[in-house]
Amino acid sequence: MAVLVTGGAGYIGSHMAWALLDAGEEVVVLDRLSTGFRWAVPAEARFYLGDVGDRAILSQVFAENDIDAILHFAGSIIVPQSVANPLDYYENNTGNTRLLAAAAIEAGIRHFVFSSTAAVYGDQKDDTPVFESADLHPKNPYGQSKLMSEMMLRDAAAAYDFRFVALRYFNVAGADPLGRTGLSTEGATHLIKIACEAELGKRRGVDVYGTDYSTPDGTGIRDYIHVTDLVNAHLKALSYLRRGGEPLIANCGYGRGYSVLEVLDAVMRVGGRKFEIRYGPRRPGDAASVVANSTLARRLLDWKPRHDDLDFIVETAITWEKGLASRKAEDLKSLQSRLASARF
């Protein structure tokens, strides 16, 4: 049996593909390469270029592979972009998830792990870790699109022979400690990625959006989780579903938050170089504080995160960022070689 990873050429999806292979799974990747990279897909995985919203490519993937589970990472994630282009987010995140789930049910694929988000919670009153049972008040179309997807999956599980786990991500950061993959997207909006670029001189500095939040230093607080701990939670979710586990929605975070300024300080401390910090107004849709209570995932999925250390997260991110220039040069050389030998 194989596992289909949608968005498997992207940041989290490529880490997932490697983790599945490390666990002895057969891996199939479907990605349209809008933000992902073909080189990020392990050579041992079977790759299909296409969109999860394309029924024809889904039919081909299901016909050519004996798939028993789908790990669905494909989607759009930039909050300000979702405010500016909400219908695009509802189409890519909600509409395509519906289509993928429908195709899976039709093909008899019973196990589905969905990438959700802490953005479904909206603002918290303080930095107290939030439970899954908290009121859901997304502040932006990104969070709304993910919440609507959760609702569809819940209803589908009640109606069909279909089970899912939705993992509500908090702030994912860091890179594979073995150096196999990391966050490589140009113009990425992840704070630690931006700060690492500034630390290495790839940016003039870092913009801080909002210094008047009701937090100790006035900047937003987030729960940062190392990407390898997150993909391990997906492995645990897959095992849970294969054992017959009931539909589940669970948080993935460490249960403590760091402010924007604390993160920037960590990057400068670990990297050893100071960079400019520029202060500006809040961005539309941003919450003041979002921190996870992940007791449910730890208890029901037997999830045991290992990298709850901001400095380690930053260190792996900087190490990956340092190697990106050589990686891109190698990819360009390889592409030029393939083009030179190609027959047109």
The residues carrying an active-site annotation are 142
Output Rg (C-alpha) for the chain, integer angstroms.
20
For CA atoms 306, 310, 315, 318, give the dihedral sign: positive
248-252 and 205-209 strand pairing: unpaired
Do 267 and 192 touch, CB atoms closer than 8 A? yes
Distance CA 117, CA 147 (A): 8
Distance CA 215, CA 288 (A): 7
Reduced to 3 states (helix: H, G, I; strand: E, B; else coil), residue 182 is: coil
Distance, C-alpha 99 to centroid of its chain: 20
Residues in contact with 309: Cβ distance below 8 Å, sequence separation at least 6, in sequence order = none
